C-alpha cells in the first residue's frame, strides 16, 4: 500500500516533464490539488493528458523565468523545471542556465510569499566526473564549469546555493534532492539518454550505440521509486542536500545487453567516442535517504525495464503523423 501524505494544494514546476508528470499523478492519487506549470520546451502536454479532466488538476503554460502569479494558499512546491538530458541542454544552454538561476529565484520567492515548503530538484551532475565513489552528499564534486555540460551542472549548483541562501536568510523550509539516473515510461524518444536510445535501437534491431569502451558505470532508479522519495523529502524537515537514486551499479555495456535481451533483439553493440566530461562512474550513496526518509528503491531493474520497454514498444509502433 502506498504511503499517504498530507492532502493540500501543490505546485509542480516542470509538471509536464518526465518525472514531473509522474509526480503530478502521484499527488492526484493522494487526493491533492495540483497546479502544474510548464513551458513545454522539453515537457509534453501528452504526459498529463490523463489528468486534464480531473477537477483537482490544472495546467499553466508559462516559462518560470517570468514571475508566477498564483492565487490562494499552497501546501508545498516541487521545483522540477529544467532541461535534463545532454541533448537538451546542448541545444538550450542559455535556457538551462536561466531556469536554474532566474526561474529558481522566482519559485523560491513564490514559496516565501505562500509561506510553504519547497523542494528543488537538483542532480547527480553537481558531482561532475567524480573522484569519490560512490558519491555522498558531503562530496563537493569535480565539475568543469566551462565545458559543454557546465550549463546544466552549474545551473543546479547555483540553484542549491540560492536555495540554501533563502533558507538561511528567510528561514524558508527548503528541501534539496540530488536525482541520479531515473528511467521509466514517458521518457521522450529523442531524449538522448541511454534508456530511450537503447530501447528504440534494440526494438528496431539496429546497432546499440555505446559511447566510450562501455566500462563507465551508471545506476538506474525507476521513476515510481524516485517520486516516492520526492514526496518523503518534501514532507521531511531535512534542509540539506539528499541523494535519491538506485545504488545498484553496472557498466553501460552490461546495461545495453540487458535491454537487448528484454527486447528480444538482434542488435549488437556499436562503440563510439566518449563525449567530453562524460562521468566515468555514477552511483549514489543513499545512506542518508535511508536514515532520514526511510527510503530506498523497491522496483528491481528487470521489472522497471520491462515496463519501460513496453512503453517504447508502443511508441515505436505508432504511425508517424
- Give me the active site residues, please: 152
Asked if residues 103 and 92 have their Cβ atoms less than 8 Å apart, the reply is no
129 Cβ neighbours under 8 A, 6+ residues apart: 142, 143, 144, 277, 278, 279, 280
Distance of alpha carbon 77 from alpha carbon 108, whole angstroms: 9
Q: How far is Cα of residue 209 from the mean position of the Cα atoms in its chain?
A: 23
Give the strand order in the sheet containing 174-179.
57-61, 33-38, 9-13, 76-79, 118-123, 174-179, 241-244
φ and ψ at residue 168, rounded to 5 degrees: -75, -40
φ and ψ at residue 262, rounded to 5 degrees: -65, -30
What SS3 state is found at 267? coil
Burial (Cβ within 10 Å: 0-12, 13-18, ≥19) of residue 140: exposed
- Give the closest residue to 213 by CA, choosing from 261, 254, 264, 262: 254
Q: What's the Cα-to-Cα distance from 71 to each of 32, 35, 64, 74, 110, rounded to whole Å?
A: 17, 11, 16, 9, 11
Asked if residues 244 and 295 have their Cβ atoms less than 8 Å apart, the reply is yes
Distance of alpha carbon 275 from alpha carbon 149, whole angstroms: 10
Amino acid at each position: 500500500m502506498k504511503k499517504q501524505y498530507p492532502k493540500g494544494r501543490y505546485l509542480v514546476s516542470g509538471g509536464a516533464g518526465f518525472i514531473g508528470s509522474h509526480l503530478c499523478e502521484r499527488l492526484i492519487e493522494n487526493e491533492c490539488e495540483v497546479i502544474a506549470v510548464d513551458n513545454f520546451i522539453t515537457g509534453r502536454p501528452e504526459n498529463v493528458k490523463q489528468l486534464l479532466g480531473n477537477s483537482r488538476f490544472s495546467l499553466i503554460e508559462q516559462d518560470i523565468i517570468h514571475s508566477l502569479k498564483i492565487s490562494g494558499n499552497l501546501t508545498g512546491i516541487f521545483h522540477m523545471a529544467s532541461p535534463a538530458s545532454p541533448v537538451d541542454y546542448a541545444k538550450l544552454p542559455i535556457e538551462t542556465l536561466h531556469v536554474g538561476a532566474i526561474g529558481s529565484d522566482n519559485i523560491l520567492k513564490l514559496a516565501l510569499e505562500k509561506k510553504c515548503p519547497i523542494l528543488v530538484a537538483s542532480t547527480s551532475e553537481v558531482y561532475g566526473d567524480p573522484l569519490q565513489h560512490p558519491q555522498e552528499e558531503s562530496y563537493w564534486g569535480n565539475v568543469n564549469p566551462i565545458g559543454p555540460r557546465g550549463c546544466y551542472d552549474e545551473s543546479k549548483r547555483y540553484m542549491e546555493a540560492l536555495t540554501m541562501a533563502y533558507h538561511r536568510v528567510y528561514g524558508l523550509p527548503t528541501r534539496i534532492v540530488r536525482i541520479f539516473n531515473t528511467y521509466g515510461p514517458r521518457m521522450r524518444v529523442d531524449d538522448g539518454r541511454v534508456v530511450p536510445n537503447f530501447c528504440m535501437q534494440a526494438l528496431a534491431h539496429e546497432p546499440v550505440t555505446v559511447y566510450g569502451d562501455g566500462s563507465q558505470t551508471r545506476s538506474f532508479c525507476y521513476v515510481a521509486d524516485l517520486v516516492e522519495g520526492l514526496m518523503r523529502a518534501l514532507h521531511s524537515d531535512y534542509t540539506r542536500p539528499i541523494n535519491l537514486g538506485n545504488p545498484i551499479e553496472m557498466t553501460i555495456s552490461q546495461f545495453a545487453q540487458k535491454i537487448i535481451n528484454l527486447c528480444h533483439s538482434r542488435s549488437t553493440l556499436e562503440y563510439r567516442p566518449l563525449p567530453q566530461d562524460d562521468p566515468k562512474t555514477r552511483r549514489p550513496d543513499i545512506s542518508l535517504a535511508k536514515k532520514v526518509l526511510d527510503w530506498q528503491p523497491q522496483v528491481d531493474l528487470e521489472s522497471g525495464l520491462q515496463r519501460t520497454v513496453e512503453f517504447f514498444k508502443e511508441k515505436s509502433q505508432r504511425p508517424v503523423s
